Structure 1
Amino acid sequence: MSQQQANPWDSSQLVAEQLKRGVLTIILVLAWLASLFAWGIMEWQGTVSTVLRVVFALNVIFHPTMFAIVWRRLLPLRFVELSCLVFATLICAGCMALHLYSPTYGADIDLRPLYLWIPVLYVFAFVIGDHKSGLRLSLAILALYVGISLPYLLTPPQPATNFTIQLLVVSGVLISALHFFAGYQGRFQRAQLTMDELTQLAHTDVLTQLPNRRRTMSMIETELTRFSRYGHTFSLILLDIDHFKAINDQFGHHVGDQTIAALAMRVHDVLRTTDAIGRWGGEEFVILLPETTLDEAKHKADTLCAHIAARPLVGNHTTTISCGVAGIESADTLDTLLQRADNAMYAAKAAGRNRAVISRTSNAGVAAAE
């Protein structure tokens, strides 16, 4: 039985989430180890202050906690990402405020490495969201730092004034650039999706959702190339719904369309995953059987005829098909191969329908094999 194909978009989303989860766990482990290492070095050198001990302690507690949450999937990944961003933002904001306004506690906090790391927060904000949410998060972070530093900047110039002004200016420029490039990437992805959709529509039959004639011809050409280069054999089945005009005349074109769509679904019951079926036109279909000999294709066509006739496709009236089977030969082109399959299919109809006929050679005409 054929299985419903997974949605490619859902699959790609799942892969992206797994990748983000893996990267985030690595970052959390590295951040935890870096905090422990830096804390140990500063304790050994005797340069750590009470405030820095608190900062290191918070990092040492926070990162393993987030790692456990990610590893055990206790909370949504989006929550963990936002928690990491908020934690880093508040740590930087607290250190900035202490250095600018409380020399007693913040004198040992070096603003230079702190100001170098703050722009990374804006990048992270755009990584965890689209260009709109990234912009909102970045502007909220920038507003926090502007609010903290503004009273300091309004006083007469002090040692950190110039450096703080540069930080805020660079932050604004960086946010603008990130917003522009993230928006451009979003537009590019939407344009790419539109192109993919158009390509899919150009190659898909609307009624059956099978490859259309153009796409089917392309698939056959690919197999012809494989046969020419590597000798990989393949066969074709050209099938046609018997008395299809009578179905339309008696029950209406709506039932005729339903019959075609139902046939397209049922054919998959007897096909392999490597086989392919396309709508050739009207009530005709082409089945491509890679790595299949002529006799194996004939057996497949017989099975298909029996499977279609076993029970009605639509309503209570029985539907049958006629199949023409052709195997690739050294002198074949796309046209000669399809012509032989077409001749065999009409031979099947002339022989009474609901059967398969094979074409053994392109020179000797069509030979029947019941």
Structure 2
Amino acid sequence: MSALFNNYARRPVHLVKGEGTVVEDADGKTYLDFTSGIAVVSLGHAHPAIVKAIQIQSEKLWHVSNLFKSPGQEKLAASLLKDTHFSHGFFCNSGAEANEAAIKLARKHTGKSTIITFYQSFHGRTFGAMSATGQEKIKQGFGPMLETFKTVPFNDSAKLEAAIDDDVAAIMLEVIQGEGGIHTVAPEFASVITDICQSKGILCIVDEVQTGIGRTGTRYAYEHAEVKPDILTLAKGLGGGFPIGAMLGTADLFDAFGPGSHGTTFGGNPLAVAVAQTVVDHVFEEGFLKEVSGKSDALFRKLKENLPTERFEVRGQGLLIGIDCKEDVAPFIRQAEEGGLLIVQAGSNVIRLLPPLTVTEQEIDQAVDILTSILLVPTTV
């Protein structure tokens, strides 16, 4: 019997090393990793610049706590804030922690309690983030959720407007729902959210834990949408594999988070910040983001050329791509693994592709070949 709790449906593969997009298991078999640790390993496995950053920082300081000044945090925050409308940042350890911070900040700043979220959303597994999540399967067995969250259908303007009252502090959304099936916010719905927030004095929180840091071909996915968040949350790809989360906010929110209002022991530690700075320095280069967009165009084109539209729908943005198969995809996930391709689900019927942002076009071709060989097997009646 395992010494671990059984809260993960673990795959039988034991991965032992990786380089770029390629990982190897304990038996020596190699795979193309189109999961990136669930959108985390943004620069691929064992990227030389990240390895060097860890080596250098590990010989200086690992941890000093947030009781002391942190020039590294200041520099990283400035990099994330540059050329945005945000003014301040806060660092933590994960996406769920970033979303907890956003919820607390919105409530403290407005003095109101209700946060509106959307069905099929995913914001984390801590109690507040779980209450915000619009998927019942995440909440089963844990008793009553926090009552100050209202969940409404995504891209339904009438239902959203009906949910607004005087106690609403914020509207919280993913501009692309990752775990919920790769659903993108409609332009007209984004405009409605913006109008409501501006006219009612409601804050807009955009959860970019999965979509941020170049995943969609821009620094942040909200740049594709008609929304202007007051608060932005980040994690996953920010650390390139090292745990770190972040929350960015506008200048008028600054006074709500004074000393003692919120904190973290490990958040923004020197090792995490050194790695994240290295990731940001690479990803935020204009040429790098153009390459991501070019790879995205190639992957979308090849998938659409090979997968008939009557059976499959390909959707997403950048290198966050969903293939809606209109049937349970669990068997396809296993078959892809056997064929040397690691992929994940986004709901029961959607295959999610999340290659490292450094994936090559040759690796894209190889992945498409494996996928089509699996998905286009004739079904028997």
What band does the TM-score fall into relative to the shorter chain? under 0.3
Please tell me whether Structure 1 or Structure 2 has the larger radius of gyration of its CA atoms: 1
TM-score w.r.t. the length of structure 2 is 0.20
Greater strand proportion? 2
More helix by share: 1
